[in-house]
Structure 1
Amino acid sequence: MSLYKRRLGAGAAVSLAALLVAILVFGVTALRAEANLVAAAPTPISVSVITASHDPQASIAEFFPGLIAARRQSALGFERAGRIDRVLVDVGDRVVAGDVLARLDVRAVQAQIAAAEAQTAEAAAQTALASETESRQAQLLERGHISQQRFDEVRTSTRAALARQNAAAAAADALRVQLDLSLMVAPFDGVVTARRSDEGAIASPGQPLLELVELDQLEINVGLPQSVAGDFSPGDPALFMVNGRGEPVTARFRASSSVVDR
């Protein structure tokens, strides 16, 4: 029992000595590592120094993207309903203002105009007869052969006949307007970009039949900061690069919407 205890005490002393040696070795290694880090720090690098000066003529160019679009573009249709008789243009055709592009079947309107003109002629004949009757009645009134009441009745009949004549003439004029509305006329110079109906189709009032785009007058729509847009006045020039290449294109400032996009 006593021998075992002595051997155990000797082993503990050896272990303690080994621990002290390990601590000593670790401390020396750490000191060497720290020394290496200090020694490996880079030395400062010298740089060149220049003197800056202000150039009052210097400027920075600003570029803002924009979209080129036709100034006018219209979807053309007839103001009245009817059967399409002819479409005289197709997609890609260039037209000038006043060209007839399409027309409706006008046979029914022409018949109505003929009837209205006949009614106008009949009303005009009745008006002429009433006017002659009034003249004769006026002579009889001067001679005392008729009463003032009778003459007033004749004069009223003349005015009524004239009113009927004017109404018939106005109805005929309205039908002539319908005849004019049966023609689709180009409102400006441009090119046809769409054709949505053909002959024989029934057109509704306002139904788009053709698309017309103006080509000779183009606009550039640009979104600008409020501070930049406020510097422009109508007629001021501005330079644009089309597709980012080629010679600059000069445009004139027309107007600003003054609406700020939030």
Structure 2
Amino acid sequence: MNMPRTITCPYPLRAILLLAACLALPANAQDKAGAPVVVTTVQEQEVYRVLQLTGTVTSARSARLSPATSGLVSALQVDAGSRVEGGQLLLQMDDELAQLQARGAEAAVERANLALRDARRRLEEARTLAPQRSIAESVVKDIAAEVSQDEAALHEAEAEAGYRRGILQRHQLKAPFAGVISAKLTELGEWVSPGQPVLELVALDDVHLDFPVAEDYAAFIAVGAPMQFSITADPTTHHNGAVTTVVPVTDPNARTFLLRVQPTDPEQTFTPGTSVQGKLRLAAGRRAVVVPRDGIVRSPDGRIVVWTVDAADGGTVVRENVVTSGLSFDSLVEISSGLEPGARIVVRGNEALQNGQNVVIRQAGEG
């Protein structure tokens, strides 16, 4: 006869409960010890207002070039985007007639010169014969007058020749300074006249930054104030500059004035017309408690909270502080009320704290 078989459980119930308690122990122990946080001590310091500005790289020299005389464009040596040196030929006009006129003027100079030399020769001979009474004194005077007339004629011919050479030279348009051609406004075969822009030239070796600034800040900006800026197309690369000019003439419509900034790195080049983003720090004229931006917690109900740490019953607990914030600058936030200098505040681990909760202070970077 088979007897009922007794089955013995290798894991009694109490062992299972003990195992569960052991697995839950770290979380319970952590709750008892406190949530890990990183703290810092708040300080009182000078408060700054940071202006976020948008401006433009502007060349110190730019010119709309036009010819000095009228003519037909026969050659264009550059196009938009061409880099040129000072004195380089940019545009040539048809100068065939001007060359002929210049040659005619030079020939007139040569004729006047020959006539003057002949008159001087005859005058010298006449003065040699005059003491011998071989020639009348009046003839000598007539020849002397002729020499004077020939000298004047030579001067006139030389002036006309110089004028014609100048006209000929003005059939060429040369770069007044080094730079880049920003616009080509004419083409081959076009008739151009003085005052008519044919090319736009922009210098690259001397640029500055121009920012429109609200007139409210005009009184707070001083020449020499430092500025940090970046090219809009490359916002991660920061450059330094200094305010060189504050033009206190406001735009009556926009209520702005011009702020001019000079980059301080002479080796860095910037393309005129490029958009830039600038940050200008202005002293607010007061000292206040400031906290790192990470120490600010914004509640859904609109409150601004800073958590401070205090010692309690041999441990450390956090207290909720509703504060009023002011200006933000350099990753810091001004606290107008609700916090005293010297308080220790939580800057990491403050996302889900509760008032009076135990915490464990850790060093920054500690796991």
Tell me the amino acid that sits aligned with residue 111 of structure 1: L
Does 1:164 find its partner at 2:156?
no
1:252 and 1:152, CA in 2 relative to 1: closer, same or farther beyond 3 A?
farther
Give the RMSD, CA atoms, in angstroms. Answer: 2.6
Q: Which has the larger radius of gyration?
A: 1
Quote the residue 2:241 is aligned against. Answer: 251
Mapping of residues 171-250 of structure 1, within 5 Å: 171-224=160-213, 225-229=217-221, 231-232=222-223, 237-243=226-232, 245-250=235-240
Tell me the alpha carbon deviations over residues 108-152 of structure 1, each in whole angstroms, 9 at most, x when there is no partner.
011111111111111000000111112122223344445554433
Structure 2 residue aligned with 1:42 = none
Q: Secondary structure at the match of 1:97?
A: coil
2:236 counterpart letter in structure 1: G
Task: Return the alpha-carbon distance in structure 2 between the equivalents of residues 128 and 102 of structure 1.
Answer: 42
State the identity %: 24
Match runs of 1:28-107 below 5 Å: 55-107=44-96
Please give the alpha-carbon distance, in whole angstroms, between the structure 2 residues aligned to 1:93 and 1:122.
46
Deviations 1:63-108 (A, max 9, x none): 4443222222222221111111111212222222222111001110
Gaps spanning 5+ residues in structure 2: where?
Answer: 1-41, 253-367
Aligned mates of 1:99, 1:178 — CA distance in 2: 18
Query: Cα–Cα, structure 1 residues 232 and 96, in superposed 2: closer, same or farther, change >3 Å?
Result: same
More helix by share: 1
- Which runs of structure 1 show a deviation greater than 6 angstroms over 4 or more consecutive aligned residues? none
Q: 2:318 is matched with which residue?
A: none
Amino acid at match of 1:115: G
Q: By percentage of residues, which structure has more strand?
A: 2
Q: In 2, distance between residues paired with 1:216 and 1:222?
A: 20
Which residue of 2 is the match for residue 151 of structure 1? 140
2:102 corresponds to 1:113: yes
Q: Secondary structure at 1:60's aligned position in 2?
A: strand
The one-letter code matched in structure 2 to 1:214 is A
Matched with 1:26 is: none
Q: Give distance in 2, aligned partners of 1:149 and 1:253.
A: 79
TM-score normalised according to structure 2 size = 0.51
- 1:15 corresponds in structure 2 to none
Residues paired across the two proteins, number = 207
Amino acid at match of 2:105: A
Q: Is the 8 A contact 2:223 2:244 kept in 1?
A: no
